[in-house]
Structure 1
């Protein structure tokens, strides 16, 4: 590897936040691409779940299981031991291996022939992707000086809306032309090339500096230190509610427009690209600017910006999911997604500001437990389950049992046209009812973010 064009993430930075080196820019770019791969997988499955449902005969609770617990539990739980390991090992090697594994398993989702196959593949994807967030944040902190990290982390976070912009376009267009299986393969395989590039051209700052490995810390003592801070407790609660709300709306909004307004996959892909991608980028930059502009001495504007966005999102999503026509629903969907992404940079920043020195990777991993293990696990599963129950109640009793007569949301073979219409109407009504739940949890997230800001004691500058 001595002949490779290797760069060092620990190359000394010039003085001043504006003076980024080429190495810093290169490392940030690769980590952005890695994070995009991390989120592309989640973005594409929400677009593909309707054809998957019809092809494999799935119910909404099973779609919720695939988007939620099957992925989220291992993603978040694996993040803790991986973060502890990352504090004492070569993070570049760790990230490269993890990226190769989750990319391969994303492609394997396209080979699934049953619900069980999909669950197993998603479990593997989640376990591997657990390395992404805590390790990336730790590398950014070691690559950039303290006064450079805020902007660097904000730019890293833009990988989320960029992925949400690309994923629906790939999912919608490819699924309509080549099928949903090909879409998984097309999203997964490029990650293998990126993993090789990362491994060959970047060195871990600790490895480059030949620093002594960090001494093992007591995990339970660290947890007591974190949760003794009231600000971190409320941030954890807020992040759990926010994770529940965002994953639920992201997972089922595409299905809602397909069922309620009979959009095509290409149309809903373009809508989600605009709603999650372009609107998300707008919200990310706006939220970062707002939080920095009004930070003050303790940075209370960071959680309060998140609170403001959560409450606005609740109001806008209520309009989206109760609108009588799509012409009214679409502009409020864009506003809702701008609002949800106001928290992208500020949420990460307040966690790093609260984190004690030497616990930044662990703090990031613990936050993943809130967002993913609690939020992303419960959100889609609750929505899918309530949707099935509400759809069964909306289905006419004279036509029989909804699950038996409408497997996968479509009528049984040989069913009359009226049965098909009844299945479609019940499925749409069930999902519309269920999607009002995250409108409530957005408000709970906003209240918790507000409380976090009220009790912050740590000064912004350390």
Structure 2
């Protein structure tokens, strides 16, 4: 089986070498599992917000700093140097180290006894998770031809929904189980609350996942016809910035479009609180229903969009991924504005899932659209910049924007529904209009690569 997985074959007219289909999908599945782990570790703090607030007396704004700003600091800023590293060094080692770091940091969150301790642990989680997607997208681009890439990205993107669904179900289950334990024996180590046990149980398994990457075989890097470095040597970060500046409308335009999705998605940190304060669902009830739907809805949608984008691409619609991203925004933003405002809890829940369908369209379409216009030698750096932009927007505007509007503008925690409704339209509306201008520049760059 190992020999079959590592076999390579020539697949296109330019004699570029791609690994076998079997090995490509093996790596994609492993990357997807890793992405699921990362999303669970990222989401766990949001699921424990009310418990941590009760123990430490933190405000919504302090919790937003932990869920958003602390994670964002290194997740965003470390991305570009790690992307540069992914363009030069074995990506399997970069991912392995990252998984190890974020898993240990998640576990250590369970023994933190202060705001500073939790903040530093979240910074470390962000630093570790910053390694994954730039290296993963670089690997996927060297494992699949461009016209077959969307399905692989769609499968990888299922991790967001599966991870979110599993997080809601798993974390609420672990929290309930931990509540039945006698923690007297663990009190010596500073562990005397059920939420601390959740961090430990969620964090440690990732250490074993990191070891698997040591045994992967790196695929050959596939070159593109568009040269970046004028010297003929490997492109530097400055070469990358110069190239992106020259073609900024297409690249920054795609990044801004996808950032609308992350802003809306990261307001999701407040979904358990929204449903509790507005309609009376406790976090466990919301987590059960939301997790049960997402664990099916997200993977089905992401895979379906990947198949459809590839079909359009094979029929000559090279901008299929870009168009899909636009359509996703047109579905996502209106439903994200409406669902917090409706009076009935089940109507709100249904519309929130329609909004999640839009999120899956933008998730799969956005990164596929970006990879289609990025020269191979700067793929890791550009993908890192992409994740930096959408992460800064999502993690800063999403959780912090809702907290600011709720605590400062409305000065009433029960009015969180209006904060949740305002963020998507204020941020997303102008960018949707801008996306129609971006399309022309995107198609022009598409012809060059």
Into which bin does the TM-score normalised by the smaller protein fall? 0.7 to 0.9
Q: Do 2:47 and 2:168's aligned partners in 1 also have CA atoms closer than 8 Å? A: yes
Matched, 1:152 2:156: no
Gaps of 5+ in 2: 13-18, 179-193, 222-231
SS at match of 2:72: helix
Q: Do 2:5 and 2:22's aligned partners in 1 also have CA atoms closer than 8 Å? A: no
Matched, 1:218 2:218: no
Q: Do 1:88 and 1:215's aligned partners in 2 also have CA atoms closer than 8 Å? A: no
Q: Which residue of 2 aligns with 1:369?
A: 388
Q: Which residue of 2 aligns with 1:402?
A: none
Once the two structures are TM-superposed, the CA of residue 460 in structure 1 deviates from its matched residue by: 6.6
Matched, 1:458 2:445: yes
Q: How do 1:258-277 residues align onto structure 2 when only pairs under 5 Å count?
A: 258-277=276-295
Instruction: Choose 441-450 or 158-167, whichever is displaced more.
Output: 441-450
Q: Do 1:309 and 1:342's aligned partners in 2 also have CA atoms closer than 8 Å? A: yes
Once the two structures are TM-superposed, the CA of residue 450 in structure 1 deviates from its matched residue by: 3.3
Matched, 1:197 2:193: no
1:343-401: CA deviation from partner (whole Å, max 9, x where unpaired): 12211111111112311111101101211123322321121122112453xxxxxxxxx
Report the TM-score when normalising by structure 1: 0.83
Once the two structures are TM-superposed, the CA of residue 12 in structure 1 deviates from its matched residue by: 0.6
Matched, 1:442 2:428: yes
SS at match of 2:78: helix
CA distance in 2 between partners of 1:306 and 1:45 (Å): 29
Cα pair distance change 1:98/1:359, threshold 3 Å: same
Cα pair distance change 1:99/1:7, threshold 3 Å: farther
Q: Do 2:149 and 2:368's aligned partners in 1 also have CA atoms closer than 8 Å? A: no
Cα pair distance change 1:106/1:64, threshold 3 Å: same
Once the two structures are TM-superposed, the CA of residue 319 in structure 1 deviates from its matched residue by: 2.5
Instruction: Choose 165-174 or 306-315, whichever is displaced more.
Output: 306-315
CA distance in 2 between partners of 1:43 and 1:94 (Å): 22
Q: Which residue of 2 aligns with 1:285?
A: 303
1:110-143: CA deviation from partner (whole Å, max 9, x where unpaired): 2222222111100011011111000011112223
CA distance in 1 between partners of 2:86 and 2:307 (Å): 31
CA distance in 1 between partners of 2:265 and 2:104 (Å): 26
What is the RMSD computed on CA atoms of the aligned residues?
2.7
Q: Which residue of 2 aligns with 1:47?
A: 47
Aligned residues: 416
Q: Which residue of 1 aligns with 2:374?
A: 355
Once the two structures are TM-superposed, the CA of residue 170 in structure 1 deviates from its matched residue by: 1.2
Cα pair distance change 1:314/1:33, threshold 3 Å: same
Q: Which residue of 2 aligns with 1:131?
A: 131
Matched, 1:427 2:432: no
CA distance in 2 between partners of 1:47 and 1:361 (Å): 31
Matched, 1:183 2:198: yes
Cα pair distance change 1:332/1:273, threshold 3 Å: same
Q: Which residue of 2 aligns with 1:22?
A: 22
1:40-97: CA deviation from partner (whole Å, max 9, x where unpaired): 1223322221212222211111121112111012101101101111222122122111
Q: Do 1:47 and 1:255's aligned partners in 2 also have CA atoms closer than 8 Å? A: no
Q: Which residue of 1 aligns with 2:186?
A: none
Once the two structures are TM-superposed, the CA of residue 198 in structure 1 deviates from its matched residue by: 1.9
Q: Do 1:274 and 1:334's aligned partners in 2 also have CA atoms closer than 8 Å? A: no
Instruction: Choose 446-455 or 317-326, whichever is displaced more.
Output: 446-455
Instruction: Choose 295-304 or 117-126, whichever is displaced more.
Output: 295-304
Q: Which residue of 1 aligns with 2:8?
A: 12
Cα pair distance change 1:298/1:97, threshold 3 Å: same
Report the TM-score when normalising by structure 2: 0.85
1:250-306: CA deviation from partner (whole Å, max 9, x where unpaired): 211121112222223321111221454333224323433443444564633322222
Gaps of 5+ in 1: 208-213, 393-425
CA distance in 1 between partners of 2:145 and 2:49 (Å): 43
Q: Which residue of 1 aligns with 2:140?
A: 140
Q: Do 1:48 and 1:180's aligned partners in 2 also have CA atoms closer than 8 Å? A: yes
Q: How do 1:32-431 residues align onto structure 2 when only pairs under 5 Å count?
A: 32-178=32-178, 179-199=194-214, 201-205=215-219, 215-229=233-247, 230-248=249-267, 250-295=268-313, 297=316, 299-390=318-409, 392=411, 426-429=412-415, 431=416
CA distance in 1 between partners of 2:448 and 2:152 (Å): 17
Cα pair distance change 1:147/1:309, threshold 3 Å: closer
Q: Do 1:320 and 1:329's aligned partners in 2 also have CA atoms closer than 8 Å? A: yes
Once the two structures are TM-superposed, the CA of residue 192 in structure 1 deviates from its matched residue by: 0.6
Q: Do 1:284 and 1:341's aligned partners in 2 also have CA atoms closer than 8 Å? A: yes
